[in-house]
Structure 1
Amino acid sequence: MPAKDPLIETLKVCILNLKSEGTVSDSNPHLASCCELLELILRKGLQQPVLSLAHRDYWHCFEQLLHHDACGRLSSVSLAVQQTTACSKLITSQGRGRFFIRLMLMRRTLGNVIKHMLHTNRVIEWYCPNVAILRNEEFVEPFLSLSMVLSEMNFKISIENCSFLDESWLLPVCQIYEAVPCRELGMVLRYLDGRVFVLDLLQGSQAQVDMFAEPGDIIDEMNGISLRNASNGQAGVVLSKLKGQPLSIHLIRWRGEDGSIYQPLVKHLRQLKQEKPSLQFGPKPASQQDRASGQKRGQTQCESFYAKVSPFDQELFQHHFPEISCVGRFGSQPDLTIFAFCVL
């Protein structure tokens, strides 16, 4: 019986789930899991440099393709690497690698990039032959085949919504607000960890009248100018430079699509609430019409695990759906024992 790698087997299931829904968008609950599995495979067996303090990640492999691949057919890869490097919303190599994966999925070129990696010796030698999937003859062909399958699928995903890829594969709700020229918007801002949070809306201001933002939201971009990693007062400086111009503001909502708190923002919102105790970040009240659809979304966004302890069912733990790679049962008594392989 041929050997099987759990990451590849789980990726197969994830791809089947993606294909069953046709065009893949950011709202697909299986997309983040698929991307995370690709990341785990690309990281598996990647060796760190001996004489350097710099941490090596799979993004550096993509970068080095441009320098060491001799086939001369890397124009699409070169453009993608340049676009990734130029994105000011990405700070870490992890964020750039994730952005690059999403870019390759959208452009249907992931399979070709993996092929280039496999025949570029100066890059593939960074991987441990005893551990890495990319250097295992039994596993590399199935992985390459799955990469080609992904390259044939239609991904309609947002490349602009990338400010949290440094921290998480889970994407926030990102919305654009168009405003007429004005002297001020009337928002009290709080700069926290390089992000511009809305702390309050001034009474009678344009922001308060239009209600386009609420405390806890993040101003991510103004007229194409990124505010990621912004210093104190930078949003005001940008706004003053845009005086007299229509405004296009990209907002990151603190609420997820299901109305709950976007998980990577929990610690930031907790700090904002300490500074202003009147802030409320509870679940959004749902109407009867929304409740049914919300319950349906909840089934795909969040999974709970139960152990059957007769005569009661006891909830063991709960994780957001994309954090779960595979779940199954173990042992001869499937009603009593479960296992979960979670990526946290």
Structure 2
Amino acid sequence: MAPKDPLLVTLKLCVLNLQSGGGVVSDTNPHLASCCELLELVLRKGLQQPVLSLVHRDYWQCFEQLTRQDACGRLSALSLAVEQTRVCKKLLSAQGRGRYLLRLALRGKALPQLITPLLHAPRVLEWYSPEMSILRNEEFVEPFMSLLMVLSLTEFKLDMANCSFLDESWRLPVCETYEVVPCREVGMVLRYLSGRVFVLELMPGSQAHVDNFLSPGDIIDEINGTSLRNSKNKQAGEVLSQLKGFPIAISVVRWRAQDGTVYQPLVKLLQALRMENPALKLGPAPPQQPDTKDQTTSPSQCLKEGRQFGGREVLQHAIRQVLQKNLPSKVMTPQSQPRGTWQHLFEHHYPEISCVGRFGQPDYTIFAFCMTDSPETHRPTGFSCIALKASTTEECEEIVSRIATGFKHTEWFV
């Protein structure tokens, strides 16, 4: 009877569990992290440390060495993946880079192509102990590669941008995007701990407080694609100041995990944060209360009950209401086009516009702005929403930015 390695036996069970759900495997799959951990253990088993070196060797260095040794283009796919991993600013350790590389290979169905060059590189393979390593054991390599082939047939939909905690853990946090149109104050008080940007508190009445999207203890991971990993003091404020007058997308790492508990790698940092903000609550998520008519305000009420309800928070409801009317489309143009060459549909001055923003779902080319309804007395009685559709996402962003730059409250406060 052929010998069996415990790691391969466990990996096989994990692969079967991944396939049992059927369909696409996402980051929320309960078996994904365990499968990745087992792949990592296989790649580390028998990996020997250099005698005269202070640097701890990990499997990431093996793949790095492969790209250095081959100059004939045979490893172009591997080289591309390694380079993509190397330039990711959210990864600070060899462990994090190795994990990111494995996730890239899973998503690209390229695990066998990642490991095969390693098996045919004697100089790198010598880093592994022939007595302990699975990669240098002929009886174990074949079943291991078979499992990789099975994994390569599985569809993985992984969020590669959610990688800031791969240095610490295979269990990834909840990561969401907060989109903000230009406003006077975002209203976040930030603290920098261990190279991460935490939200310490939200200023009452600010945009972040009104939107109710951010929570004290959350982490600002990136802004408009700029990573804030390993940030220095005031770096987030500098990034925001460069985006003055433009819509921004803030990538937020939640302190609460998928199961509602505190995300484990953040426990010590949140304890330090709570010393500055004792009001920070880190308990389990409160049960959701059922919605009642007395507790909710309808979108139509928000649009008709005065200026305080003409803010960004009603745009999504207002756009849906406009779209439901299914009005016939008309051609319009940004105001920079020469008049007479396009049909002139309407004209509103900046003091009449209360907010502008894009439609988040399902079409990013739809945008809208709220404007005051004024009778002949010119006294505002409510708000109307004008929804428009641009031809491309880029055009939509440009138009929204143009409208927003006309406001006199585009300064950022952090």
- Point out the structure with the larger strand share: 1
Aligned-partner Cα distance in 2 for 1:72–1:7:
33
What's the CA shift for 1:152? 1.4
- Whether contact under 8 Å (1:69, 1:120) holds in the other structure is no
What's the CA shift for 1:72? 3.8
Structure 1 residue aligned with 2:30: 29
Letter in 1 for 2:268: K
Structure 2 residue aligned with 1:208: 209
Structure 2 residue aligned with 1:14: 14
The 5-angstrom pairing of residues 190-209 of structure 1 reads: 190-209=191-210
Letter in 1 for 2:262: I
SS in 2 for 1:98: helix
What's the CA shift for 1:182? 2.6
Q: Would you say 1:286 and 2:287 are equivalent positions?
A: yes
Structure 1 residue aligned with 2:3: 3
- Whether contact under 8 Å (1:69, 1:116) holds in the other structure is no
- Whether contact under 8 Å (1:173, 1:252) holds in the other structure is yes
What's the CA shift for 1:122? 1.5
Structure 1 residue aligned with 2:174: 173
Q: Would you say 1:108 and 2:113 are equivalent positions?
A: no
Aligned-partner Cα distance in 2 for 1:192–1:28:
30
Q: Deviations over 1:102-139 (max 9, x none)?
A: 00000011111111110011211110111111111211
Structure 1 residue aligned with 2:144: 143
What's the CA shift for 1:184? 3.1
Aligned-partner Cα distance in 2 for 1:226–1:147:
32
Which ranges in structure 1 are unaligned for 5 or more consecutive residues?
290-344
What's the CA shift for 1:179? 0.6
What's the CA shift for 1:274? 2.1
Structure 2 residue aligned with 1:269: 270
The 5-angstrom pairing of residues 182-197 of structure 1 reads: 182-197=183-198
Q: Deviations over 1:154-213 (max 9, x none)?
A: 101110000000000000000001110134311110100000000000011111111110
Structure 2 residue aligned with 1:49: 50
What's the CA shift for 1:287? 3.5
Structure 2 residue aligned with 1:99: 100
Distance 1:49 1:212, change over 3 A: same
Q: Would you say 1:240 and 2:241 are equivalent positions?
A: yes
Aligned-partner Cα distance in 1 for 2:255–2:42:
31
What's the CA shift for 1:73? 2.7
What's the CA shift for 1:70? 6.9
What's the CA shift for 1:269? 1.0
Letter in 1 for 2:128: Y
Aligned-partner Cα distance in 2 for 1:20–1:126:
36
Task: Please tell me whether Structure 1 or Structure 2 has the larger radius of gyration of its CA atoms.
Answer: 2
Aligned-partner Cα distance in 2 for 1:121–1:72:
18
245-254 or 177-186, which deviates more: 177-186
Aligned-partner Cα distance in 1 for 2:44–2:184:
49
SS in 2 for 1:255: coil
Aligned-partner Cα distance in 2 for 1:68–1:128:
21
What's the CA shift for 1:74? 1.6
- Whether contact under 8 Å (1:80, 1:103) holds in the other structure is yes
Letter in 2 for 1:252: V
Structure 1 residue aligned with 2:82: 81
177-186 or 76-85, which deviates more: 177-186
- Whether contact under 8 Å (1:186, 1:208) holds in the other structure is yes
Measured on the aligned residues, the alpha-carbon RMSD in Å equals 1.3
Distance 1:261 1:154, change over 3 A: same
Q: How many residues align?
A: 289
SS in 2 for 1:102: helix
Q: Deviations over 1:253-308 (max 9, x none)?
A: 0111221111111111111112222211111112488xxxxxxxxxxxxxxxxxxx
- Whether contact under 8 Å (1:68, 1:123) holds in the other structure is no
Structure 2 residue aligned with 1:218: 219
Aligned-partner Cα distance in 2 for 1:288–1:36:
38
SS in 2 for 1:133: coil
145-154 or 171-180, which deviates more: 145-154
SS in 1 for 2:145: helix
Aligned-partner Cα distance in 1 for 2:238–2:273:
23
Structure 2 residue aligned with 1:128: 129
Aligned-partner Cα distance in 2 for 1:179–1:272:
25
Aligned-partner Cα distance in 1 for 2:186–2:59:
42
SS in 2 for 1:261: coil
Aligned-partner Cα distance in 2 for 1:245–1:287:
34
Aligned structure 1 segments of 4 or more residues deviating by more than 3 angstroms: 69-72
| TM-score w.r.t. length of structure 1 | 0.82
Identity rate of aligned residues, in percent? 66
